Amino acid sequence: MAENDLIQRKISQLEFQSLVKPMIGLPISRAWRGYGTACFLEIGQLSEYELPSGKRSIKGQFGVMIQWSWRIESPRTIACGSWSSKRKISKGIERLSGLFIEQIALSNRLPEISVCLSSGRWLQSFQTSEGQPGWVIFLREHDDSSAWLKVKNGKVVLETNERNQALLEQLMNLLET
């Protein structure tokens, strides 16, 4: 998909909170390590879908992806992070399955995400190399169409592709109510 096929809208912190509010109280149904140290959370009810390769996979109503530079905190210590061993990363991420989302907040001048989980766990993103913070929140609950939140030019944007113009308008209407 070409960059110019995307529709983007900058959103405020208040709009961000409205968009992630439906995730609060939902379980992490699947937590998994992607390529390298990428961390993925599939949140809410899982559904099966077909990849372009023809393989089947599952996704949640919502999703969180942090490319790299993250850590999982327990009440009094850092349980693991993107610089931990592969084994510790995999086990640490897998242990997030079954926990519930209590809060998702933005932090720092360049927006990073902080995901508060049940059992006193937190997942924090923090980019340590040049560029933009490397996280995405997938908003999939509105049907199979998808919109997502990410950082572009230091600001949080709501993004979708042109064919989902109606979805973007629906999300914007929700923010106005």
Residues, the chain: 177
Query: Could you tell me the pLDDT band of residue 31, with boundaries at 50, 70 and 90?
Result: very high
Query: Could you tell me the pLDDT band of residue 170, with boundaries at 50, 70 and 90?
Result: confident
Helix (H) or strand (E) segment spanning residue 176: helix 165-176
Q: Does residue 80 have a pLDDT over 80? A: yes
- Say if CB 145 and CB 125 are below 8 A apart: no
Q: pLDDT, tens digit, for every residue of 84-139?
A: 999 999 999 999 999 999 999 999 899 999 999 999 999 999 999 999 999 999 99
Check residue 145 and give its pLDDT.
Answer: 59
Average pLDDT score over residue span 66-83: 96
pTM: 0.90
Number of Cβ within a 10 Å radius of residue 46? 13
Which residue type occupies 81? G
What residue ranges do the domains of the chain occupy?
3-176
Residues paired with 66 in a beta bridge: 39, 135
